[in-house]
Copies of this chain bind each other. A is one copy, B any other.
């Protein structure tokens, strides 16, 4: 088992924290090996943010996500730049309000779930910056890459002290959104 997960957006959207939490959930609470990576190049100046997690049942020799199994796009720039890397059949979550220009041809070969993530977070917790955690909830709910219990524990460990409850509320909203997809599919 090797799963590659890509989170991307712009600075301040909590892309790195989301991926740190997922890596922690996989390793500390599920016993997998995990490597979590940020790569920065000259393009970082523009504010693009990209973080990756590789989860495996054996030590991870190659830590880069070359063809992500799961991907999250929080910004147009990130989508335009990285959506082509995602492997066929990948589960992809898109912040629809922030990614107006889409590529139907690429999306045809993906399983795309689109939400107004920032707005949903704002409505759920009053804090738009919980959108990264809400998205983690959707991702885990849809993919089961780690259990809901493990991601909850990792959120609790990792978010700033005092923000645990608001973030768990965002996470659970994410689970619900994933459940409603599963319900409507059945």
Of B24, B28, B38, which is within 8 A of A35 by CB?
A: B38
Interface presence of A80 (CB below 8 A): no
Task: Kindly state the separation between the CA atoms of A23 and B40 in the bound complex, as whole angstroms.
Answer: 8
Tell me the number of copies of this protein: 2
Interface centre among A38, A41, A59 (most CB of B within 10 A): A38
Distance, CA A41 to CA B39, complexed state (A) = 21
Q: Is the CB of A42 within 8 A of B34?
A: no
Interface SS of A by simple majority = mixed
A26 within 8 A of B: yes
With contacts A11-B157, A160-B160 known, is A34 near B40, CB below 8 A? yes
The CA of A157 and the CA of B49, in the complex, are separated in Å by 13
Q: Can you report 21 residue pairs joining A to B where beta carbons are below 8 Å apart?
A: A16-B20, A20-B38, A23-B38, A23-B40, A27-B41, A27-B44, A28-B40, A28-B44, A33-B41, A33-B42, A34-B38, A34-B39, A34-B40, A35-B37, A36-B38, A36-B40, A37-B38, A37-B63, A41-B59, A63-B64, A160-B160
